[in-house]
Every structure is written in structure tokens, then in C-alpha cells.
Amino acid sequence: MNAARTFLCLAVISLTSSFLQAGQPAIVVSGFEPFGGRDRNASWTLAEAIAKAFPQDVRALQIPVVWGAPLAAINNAKPLPQVWIAFGEGTPEFQIEILAHNQRGMYPDNQQTKPATPDIVGNAAPILKQQAQVADLAAALTQSGFPTHVSQSAGRYLCEEMLYSLLYAQQQHPEALRLVLFIHVPTLKQSITVSPAKEGKPATRRRVDAELLQAFGRQLFASLRKLGLLASEADLKR
């Protein structure tokens, strides 16, 4: 293990330890640090907005854009939460990812390092698939004005690694991680459709900002609860 990766592991352990000392909530929402030359990651903006909206039940955790960081963060989150909803950025609309390959793309991370191994988890399944039925969730979000679709292509970068790591951890700890999700969101300042066209009228478009992402986060939780994928706030505290 080189010095950079040793520092990463120590940083993730330190971050997770301080995160747990504050009391592990029932729900974790995670987003990534900035990458690709941007100074802010929409996934982290969304995770922070959700944690502020539901401070008693939700804790936000930022994941480094570094190979190996997703699984390190999950492994150090003890006890594991009941629900982990992860976000990533970079799609033209909201996208629920359901398929993850145990294979990394040979791209450099934020430390300008390519993955040390081609697989995310050694001797594990080549593909893991989301077990929760998310088609109704995508439909509910779309009906609420946030066009969302189900995707089977998470991108072979840290987003797919995060989804695979969560699904793998869920297999190992089904009693803890009752629900895991990964949702791609558009980048900040991007112009997107935020409501479907009705009665021949053109669809409304809006620039992606913190306010829009916060509205999406609230609608996401409302839809999850309505569909029975997420327990009520009272049930989560039991």
C-alpha cells in the first residue's frame, strides 16, 4: 500500500469514527467530494440538504473520489444504518441505478491514481443487482416533477463502485442494511426538465441549484415512505 492510499484509509477511518461518535442515525445519505475540475459536487449538496431537512434521523457522509474509499467507508460504519442512500452526479436527469459490476474502469481518481486491482471486491460476484422494486419510485418522482428513470449503467467509476460496495455489504449484513439505493443527479448549474409536459404545453426547465436539490430530496423521502420502501420517522426510532 503506497503512502497516498495509507493516508486515504486513515482519513476514512477517522472520518467515520467521528461520524459514529455523534450517534449513528437510522439513515445515511452520502455524496462525493468535488471532481472533474468542479468546486462543488451536486451529490454532496443533495446529501447535506437532506440531512438538514431530517436532522434527527439522517446523517450525511462525504465519500472521497478515490478508488477503495466507498467500501472503506461502509466497512467502518459500525453499527451499520438501516438505510443507506448514495448519490452521485453527472447525468442529464435523475437516474436510479440498479446494476453494479465488480469491475473498475482504468481511470485516475482524485489522487491521479488508477485502481490497484481491476475488481472492487476480490472473489465476489461479477454483478450485483438492486433487489428493491424501484420502478414505482422513479414513476412517483417523475409524476412529482422530477423526471427520473431506472438505469442499468452506473458508469464504471466511483459511482458504480459505491453501488457495488453497498449491495455487497447488504448481502453480508441483511439485518442491518434493509435498503440501499444509488441515485445519479444532474450537475449544479445544469439546465434540466423539472416537470413533464401537460396538455400540449412545453415542459418547464430549471437550473440545478441547492434549492432544487433540496426539493428533490424531500420528494424522494416522501415517495419512499408512500411506497413502503422507507419506514415512518416514528418506526425508524424504534
Does the structure show a pLDDT above 90 at 203? no
Range of the domain at 194: 3-236
Does the structure show a pLDDT above 70 at 23? no
Q: What is the pLDDT of residue 71?
A: 97
Q: What is the pLDDT of residue 177?
A: 95
Q: How confident is the model at residue 198 (pLDDT cuts 50, 70, 90)?
A: low
Q: How confident is the model at residue 106 (pLDDT cuts 50, 70, 90)?
A: very high
Per-residue model confidence as pLDDT tens digits over 41-56: 999 999 999 999 998 8
List own/partner pairs for 74-80 with CB under 8 A and 24 or more apart: 74/165, 74/166, 74/169, 75/169, 76/12, 76/13, 76/16, 76/17, 77/16, 77/19, 77/20, 77/24, 77/28, 78/20, 79/24, 79/176, 80/169, 80/173, 80/176, 80/177
Q: How confident is the model at residue 17 (pLDDT cuts 50, 70, 90)?
A: very low
Q: How confident is the model at residue 197 (pLDDT cuts 50, 70, 90)?
A: low
Number of domains in the chain: 1
Does the structure show a pLDDT above 70 at 123? yes
Q: Of 76, 171, 102, 212, which is closest to residue 30 (Cα–Cα)? A: 76
Q: What is the pLDDT of residue 121?
A: 98
Q: What is the DSSP letter of 202?
A: P
Q: What is the pLDDT of residue 63?
A: 98
CATH number at residue 24: 3.40.630.20
In whole angstroms, what is the distance from residue 219 CA to residue 238 CA?
24
Q: What is the pLDDT of residue 5?
A: 45
Percent of the chain clearing pLDDT 90 (strictly above): 76
Per-residue model confidence as pLDDT tens digits over 148-181: 999 999 999 999 999 999 999 999 999 999 999 9
State pTM to two decimals.
0.87
